[in-house]
Amino acid sequence: MAIGMSKKKIKYSRKDYENVLPVMLKCKITLNEACMDKDLPARSSILDYAASNPEFRKKLLDTYYALPYVVQARAAIFSPQFYEDLRRLKGKGFSYKKIGRRLGISHKTVSKRIKQIS
């Protein structure tokens, strides 16, 4: 990146956007965290690209869904599998704290998400 240029003003290629996804998976980080890398596009650029490209948007969501629940919680984007696991553990009568420990997230997140699905 040239000195003095904002990441937002750079024109990125499809490959540049695609490069974000393996970084997220390898490092187990959110899009926000991945975009802190100076060599990757800005978060807003990636989200704009995802909005205009349904194929990339699906890949981005699939990447989030493949991340551990604790990372999904940091991004507040949860996979359908998370909600299935949440329902299953709630159905078994586990407390929010136990569910949180099993899923690797806080009991407050469990409480909030259970309220959403109830």
The predicted pLDDT at position 56 comes to: 98
Name the token pair of 92.
């078994």
The predicted pLDDT at position 8 comes to: 58
Q: Which range marks the domain in which residue 37 is found?
A: 12-67
In the chain (118 residues long), the average pLDDT of successive 10-residue segments reads 55 94 98 95 95 98 97 96 97 97 97 91
Does residue 19 sit within a domain? yes
The answer to whether residues 47 and 91 belong to one domain is: no
The answer to whether residues 39 and 56 belong to one domain is: yes
Q: What is the DSSP secondary-structure string of 14-80?
A: HHHHHTHHHHHHHHT--HHHHTTSTTS--HHHHHHHHHH-HHHHHHHHHHHHHS-HHHHHHHT---H
pTM for this one?
A: 0.84
Does residue 2 sit within a domain? no
Does residue 45 sit within a domain? yes
The predicted pLDDT at position 1 comes to: 47
The answer to whether residues 63 and 92 belong to one domain is: no
The answer to whether residues 46 and 87 belong to one domain is: no
The answer to whether residues 74 and 42 belong to one domain is: no
Does residue 1 sit within a domain? no
The answer to whether residues 54 and 41 belong to one domain is: yes
DSSP structure class, residue 105: S
Burial class (CB in 10 A: 0-12, 13-18, 19+), 40: buried
Does residue 41 sit within a domain? yes
The predicted pLDDT at position 10 comes to: 77
